[in-house]
Amino acid sequence: MILILTPDTDQQSSHYLRLMDHLNNLPSIEHRIHQEKGTQQTLTEIYLIGDTHTLNLDEMSSLPCVERAVRISEEYRVLGRHKDDTRPTSFEYNGITFGQNNLNIFAGLCAVNTPEHVEAMMKVLQENGQQCTRMGAYKPRTNPYSFQGFGKECLPYVFELAGQYDIKVVAMEITHESHIDEINEALEQTGNPTGVMLQIGTRNTQNFELLKIVGRQQRHPVLLKRGFGITLEESLNAAEYLASEGNSKVIFGLRGMKTNMGDPHRNFVDFAHVPVVKRLTRMPVCIDPSHSVGSRDLAPDNILDVMHVTAQGIIAGANMVLVDFHPEPKVALVDGPQALTLKELPYFLEDIRIARDAYEQRVALAKKHFN
């Protein structure tokens, strides 16, 4: 059961202390307090764990400071969608809204290579009205001799350029907890010119200790990629690790599954799971067409496979697109063959608009049908 407290409940108030007293005296029930400090207000939720079936929902709702009580199923306690659960399906970060009802595009470099390329990318993003990007500094590579990313060395100029081109959020994979400190130091050093969304890559989806540490910080939202060879349920539980530690600003990323059944694509595209994740949880859903397809192969209709699958994910309601671009894909240090070029950005965005409009029309049609 979750107790949702009235916003800005003061934890020193006598009402709150009375509530705590009541909860402490419930037999075989433990509680965990989760606080979300927004710019406008502080929200407090209390998760009751144990023999909660003995509790009466109306009685719990009438306790001091409690606005609402929600009975939850065992699955995905914090991030799940439960019966009569009206908790939000969106969050704000650095002025950008991330939610199950909107769409944000994160076009950018798979791996940062030079300041010139970073600047060229950000310039074209700004020219096309974009405020988010992806910039890989720490690259998990299959081969130990492959380029591993420029790491903390490139962070100051990436953040400075982001600020210069009005980029509000940079999605960046981290593979170790020390990377969070390096990112925070570089942000301080450059005067916090932008925001960072921490990305957990598919190789680390079940790195539980990393998930716990990332979940304990609330400064940055998290993009958790689905594990490439585990069930959807296992990946959603990985997302719940982040939330159970305190950070529920989590976006769930679909990036394809590793199997030769998906050949000739790099991974078997799994965007049919967009509506499934939205039904089971309150997380916005991201698609990564670049790592799913892995090439610039063109279909006979002159549309790139990468753009076909992007449209498929969006027409199914995807909320974020993480996509590789590069000013000179031939010299990209990682994943050049799947990158789109800067000249293709306006075309890509226009194609996305068509798919998003179609999705919105489908939602309106469904509403009409069911009313």
Residues 249, 16: Cα–Cα separation, whole Å: 25
Q: What is the DSSP letter of 339?
A: P
Binding of residue 133 to ligand PEP (CB under 6 A) = no
Q: Using CA atoms of 210, 213, 215, 221 in order, give the dihedral in degrees to the nearest 10.
A: -80
Within 95-124, the residues that bind Mn ion by CB under 5 A are 110
Residue 224 or 345 with smaller CB distance to ligand PEP: 224
Binding of residue 291 to ligand PEP (CB under 6 A) = yes
Binding of residue 306 to Mn ion (CB under 5 A) = no
Q: Considering only residues 202, 237, 319, 338, which one is a binding residue for ligand PEP as defined by CB under 6 A?
A: 202
Q: Considering only residues 201, 221, 313, 327, which one is a binding residue for ligand PEP as defined by CB under 6 A?
A: 201
Q: What is the DSSP letter of 60?
A: H
CB of 145 closer than 8 Å to CB of 183: no
User: 368: how many CB neighbours lie within 10 A of its CB?
Assistant: 8
CB 273, min distance to ligand PEP, A: 14
- Picked from Mn ion, ligand PEP, none, the partner binding residue 202 (CB below 5 to 8 A depending on kind) is ligand PEP
CB of 172 closer than 8 Å to CB of 136: yes
- H/E run at residue 358: helix 345-370
Binding of residue 227 to ligand PEP (CB under 6 A) = no
Q: Which residue is nearest to ligand PEP (CB)?
A: 201
Q: Considering only residues 168, 220, 255, 282, which one is a binding residue for ligand PEP as defined by CB under 6 A?
A: 255
Binding of residue 335 to Mn ion (CB under 5 A) = yes
Residue 160 or 288 with smaller CB distance to ligand PEP: 288
Residues 52, 59: Cα–Cα separation, whole Å: 12
Binding of residue 273 to ligand PEP (CB under 6 A) = no
| Sheet bearing 2-5, strands edge to edge | 29-37, 42-50, 2-5, 66-70
- Picked from ligand PEP, Mn ion, none, the partner binding residue 255 (CB below 5 to 8 A depending on kind) is ligand PEP
Residue 46 or 309 with smaller CB distance to Mn ion: 309
- Name the H helices within 72-202: 115-127, 155-164, 178-189
Cβ contacts of residue 129 below 8 Å, gap of 6+?
none
Cβ contacts of residue 302 below 8 Å, gap of 6+?
none
- H/E run at residue 321: strand 320-324
Within 163-182, the residues that bind ligand PEP by CB under 6 A are 173
Binding of residue 225 to ligand PEP (CB under 6 A) = yes
Binding of residue 308 to ligand PEP (CB under 6 A) = no
Cβ contacts of residue 127 below 8 Å, gap of 6+?
none
CB 148, min distance to ligand PEP, A: 12
CB 36, min distance to ligand PEP, A: 27
Binding site for Mn ion (CB under 5 A): 110, 335
Binding site for ligand PEP (CB under 6 A): 110, 136, 173, 201-202, 225, 255, 288, 291
